[in-house]
Chains A and B, each alone.
Chain A
Amino acid sequence: MWPIGRGDRNFWIAVLVLSALVAAGLYAWIYQIQRGLWVTGLNQKVSWGFYIINCVFFIGMSYGGAMTSAILRLTNAKWRAPLTRLAEATAVAALLVGAIYPIIDMGRPDRFLNILLFAQVGSPVVWDVIAISTYMVASLVFLYLPLIPDLATTRDSLRMSGLRRVYRILALGWKGTPRQERSLARGIGIMAVLIIPLAVSVHSVLAWLFAVTARGEWHSTIFAPLFVLAAMLSGVAAVILVVAAFRKVYGLQEFITAKHFRYLSYLLIALDLGYLYFMVSEYLTEGYLLDEATAPVLEAIFIGTYAPAFWAFTIAGLLFPLVLAALPGRHMIARSCIASLLVVAGMWLKRFLIVVPGMAEPIMPWDWGRYAPSWVEVTITIGSAAAIPLILIVFFRFFPVMSVHEMEEVEGAPEPRGVVLVPSFAEGGD
Chain B
Amino acid sequence: MAGPLTRRTLLGTLGGVGATTLAAGWAPVAFPRAFAADTKPPRKERQWAMVIDLRKCDGCKKCTEACQETHHLPQTFEWIKVFQVKDKTGGQYFMPRPCFQCENAPCLRVCPVAATFREADGVVLVDQDRCIGCRMCMAACPYGARYFNYADPPKYDNPFGKATPQFPVPQQKGTVGKCMFCVHRTDEGQLPACVEACKMFALYIGDLVEDVATNGNETVRLSTFLKENDAFRYKDELGTSPRVWYIAGHGQLLDY
Contact = CB atoms under 8 A, between A and B. Distances in A.
A119 B132 contact: no
B106 A120 contact: no
B142 to A, nearest CB: 4
Nearest to A210: B139
B195 interface: no
Interface in A105-123: 105-109, 111-112, 114-115, 117-123
Contacts of B149: 107
Interface residues of A, number: 44
Nearest to B149: A107
Most B C-beta atoms less than 10 A away, residue of A44, A106, A210, A212: A44
Contacts of B254: none
A42 B238 CA distance: 27
Contact of B112 (A43, A119, A363): A119
B65 to A, nearest CB: 17
Contacts of A367: 83, 144
B99 to A, nearest CB: 12
Nearest to A114: B113
A359 B31 contact: no
B111 A123 contact: yes
B243 interface: no
B136 interface: yes
Contact of B138 (A47, A210, A214): A47
Given A107-B132, A363-B144, A44 B76 contact: yes
A359 B139 contact: yes
Contacts of A102: 134
B238 A44 contact: no
Interface string A351-392: 000000001000111110000000000000000000000000
B109 interface: yes
A50 to B, nearest CB: 14
A121 B134 contact: no
A161 to B, nearest CB: 46
B83 A366 contact: yes
A365 B31 contact: no
A215 interface: yes
Interface in A73-131: 102, 105-109, 111-112, 114-115, 117-126, 129
A365 B95 CA distance: 9
Interface in A388-420: none
Which of A115, A117, A125 has its CB near the most chain B CB atoms (within 10 A)?
Answer: A125
B174 A107 contact: yes
Nearest to B81: A364
A119 B113 contact: yes
Interface in B18-48: 31, 33-34, 37
B67 to A, nearest CB: 15
Contact of B174 (A108, A213, A365): A108
A218 to B, nearest CB: 8
Given A37-B148, A365-B83, A123 B31 contact: no
Contacts of A366: 83, 85-86
Contacts of A122: 34, 37, 109-110
A36 interface: yes
A242 interface: no
Contacts, number: 142
Contacts of B115: 114, 118
Contacts of B130: 111, 114, 118
Interface in B210-244: 235, 238, 240
A80 B119 CA distance: 59
A124 B132 contact: no
A48 interface: yes
A120 B31 contact: yes
Interface centre among B85, B132, B173 (most CB of A within 10 A): B132
A294 to B, nearest CB: 14
A71 interface: no
Contact of B85 (A43, A359, A365): A365
Contacts of A118: 33, 112-115, 130
A209 interface: yes
A120 B111 contact: yes
B93 to A, nearest CB: 10
B209 interface: no
Contact of A112 (B76, B77, B81, B132): B132
Contacts of B83: 364-367
A162 to B, nearest CB: 42
A106 B132 CA distance: 6
Contact of A107 (B86, B114, B133, B144): B133
A366 B143 CA distance: 12
Contact of A214 (B95, B140, B256): B140
A45 interface: yes
Contact of B110 (A212, A292, A359): A212
Contacts of B31: 119-121
A45 B113 CA distance: 22
Chain B CB within 10 Å — which of A36, A45, A109, A210 has the most?
A36
Contacts of A105: 134-135
Contacts of B64: none
Nearest to B235: A214
Contact of B140 (A43, A109, A120, A212): A212
B167 interface: no
Nearest to A123: B112
Interface of B: 31, 33-34, 37, 76-77, 81, 83, 85-86, 95, 97, 106, 109-115, 130-136, 138-140, 142-144, 147-152, 173-176, 235, 238, 240, 256
* Minimum-distance CB pairs A-B, first 7: A107-B133, A107-B174, A125-B112, A38-B150, A38-B151, A123-B112, A214-B142
Given A102-B134, A363-B143, 11 more contacts: A107-B148, A107-B176, A114-B130, A115-B112, A120-B34, A125-B112, A209-B139, A363-B142, A364-B95, A365-B95, A365-B256
23 contacts: A38-B151, A40-B150, A44-B144, A106-B174, A107-B135, A111-B113, A111-B130, A111-B132, A114-B112, A114-B130, A115-B132, A118-B33, A120-B114, A123-B110, A123-B112, A213-B106, A214-B140, A214-B235, A215-B142, A359-B139, A364-B97, A364-B143, A366-B83
